[in-house]
Amino acid sequence: MDKLVVECAGRLSGSVEISGAKNAALPILIGCLLAESPVKLSNVPHLMDVTTTIQLLASMGVEVMFDEHLNIEIDASNITKKEAPYELVNTMRASILVLGPLLGRFGEAKVSLPGGCAIGSRPVDIHIKGMEQMGATILVEQGYILASSNGRLKGADISMSPVTVTGTENLLMAAVLAEGTTTLRNAAREPEVTDLAEFLNKMGANITGLGTDTLVIEGVERLSGVEYSVIPDRIEAGTYLAAAAVSQSQLTVTKVNPKHLEAVLQKFEEAGAEIFCSEHEVTLDMRGRTLKPVNIRTDPYPLFPTDMQAQFLVMNALAEGCSTIEETIFENRFMHVSELIRMGADISIEGNTAHITGVKKLFGAPVMATDLRASASLILAGLVAEGETVINRVYHLDRGYELIEEKFHKLGAHIYRITD
């Protein structure tokens, strides 16, 4: 099993090009199921989750081809199977998104429940209830969602609670081919949701309210293939900026949309960093500055994202003073705290809140990654810790960060991969 070894390298410098957003690419890849002619996608990151999604599409009979620039062409004109099996879905929760387009286009779908998911504990039930409002018949049997409709789905007025990104995306894809008007209320506003909606509109869908919490979809009879480029990954960008902050460095991220990072950039400034933005670049300068503690509460976009919580926790662990981070989106998302404590951090957990007292230094140690963003936070800690940090279970990292060792090497970091 692969491990990452990280050694303290002092300051980072230079620039790093940001890849396409994983959380936009996955629903867009799955949205290709709705098109009756080939789709060409660019700026798709080459990640484990993307590979799994392509395998899932191929298992249904979708033709997938790559050109010399690693752009992807997807032809879903001849689907042979309307099923997402457990062996693929259990590795990636986003696989549930095939339910909407399969049901909307073909009137049937068989989709395994995501691994370890109880219907009532995570918002998969929102997907199901919304599609039932649109006229679908849905059964949950032996770990599978069995969905069917008698003819086209029907437009409906659907209110979602709590806000759910995948729920919004799934119902959006189900609604674009439905008969009549569908209104999605309390919809997720994340840039990745908007990117999916813009992609669907380019294929011929009629969606309004993009970027707001109310999406209105006028159903159309068919969608056609297009060429489309995925938006840049705001979380990858934020992670590299956090690396500059903890190492008191200056660093530029390129090919980004600063508007997608506004809440995060405000917190970087509150932490003492200087921020410079242009149309497609962000520079963070922490040279000669002292990290200040910042209190954070995670919330749906446009507020502070849960996917940046772990990175800011490392910053707070090295800041002068005390701070709190309240996690309101996901339960059990402080599992990286015990690993940071092994490295010398002073953190305690009370309910869904982490209480952090900054320390002067961290120390290298063998640690274990528990999820994607936790993996990234342990790299940040290792970049400034005395000695060597060995991060186990880095397959989490490979799900969401493209070429992470190469990109950090370019910035001057000492990081390399070993295999047992």
Q: What is the pLDDT of residues 203-231, one digit of tens each?
A: 999 999 999 999 999 999 999 999 999 99
What integer pLDDT is reported at residue 332 of this predicted model? 76
What integer pLDDT is reported at residue 220 of this predicted model? 98
Q: Nearest to residue 374, comparing CAs of 402, 397, 342?
A: 397
Question: pLDDT tens digits, the chain, 420 residues: what are they?
Answer: 889 999 998 899 999 999 999 999 999 999 999 999 999 999 999 999 999 999 999 999 999 999 888 899 999 999 999 999 888 887 788 889 999 999 999 999 999 987 543 333 456 889 999 999 999 999 998 889 999 999 999 999 999 999 999 999 999 999 999 999 999 999 999 999 999 999 999 999 999 999 999 999 999 999 999 999 999 999 999 999 999 999 999 999 999 999 999 999 999 999 999 999 999 999 999 999 999 999 999 999 999 999 999 999 999 999 999 999 999 988 778 889 999 999 999 999 999 999 999 999 999 999 998 888 888 999 999 999 999 999 998 888 888 899 999 999 999 999 999 987
- DSSP, collapsed to helix, strand or coil, labels residue 125 as helix
What integer pLDDT is reported at residue 123 of this predicted model? 60
Q: Nearest to residue 318, comparing CAs of 339, 286, 345?
A: 345
At which residue do the structure tokens 């002292």 appear?
Answer: 290
What integer pLDDT is reported at residue 115 of this predicted model? 55
Q: Which residues contact 175 (CB under 8 A, 6 or more apart)?
A: 100, 104, 134, 153, 155, 182, 184, 217, 219
At which residue do the structure tokens 């799934």 appear?
Answer: 170
At which residue do the structure tokens 């209104």 appear?
Answer: 183
Q: Does residue 117 carry a catalytic annotation? A: yes
What integer pLDDT is reported at residue 70 of this predicted model? 81
Burial of 157 per CB tally in 10 Å (0-12, 13-18, 19+): exposed
One of 8, 32, 117, 322 is an active-site residue; which one? 117
What integer pLDDT is reported at residue 117 of this predicted model? 35
Residue 407 CA to residue 405 CA, distance in Å, equals 5
The pTM of the full predicted model, rounded to 2 decimals, is 0.96
Burial of 288 per CB tally in 10 Å (0-12, 13-18, 19+): exposed
State pLDDT tens for residues 70-114. Answer: 899 999 999 999 999 888 887 788 889 999 999 999 999 999 987
Q: Which residues contact 108 (CB under 8 A, 6 or more apart)?
A: 82, 102, 147, 148, 149
What integer pLDDT is reported at residue 118 of this predicted model? 35
Which amino acid makes up residue 211? G
Q: Quick check: 28 and 41 in contact, CB under 8 A?
A: yes
Residue 242 CA to residue 170 CA, distance in Å, equals 32
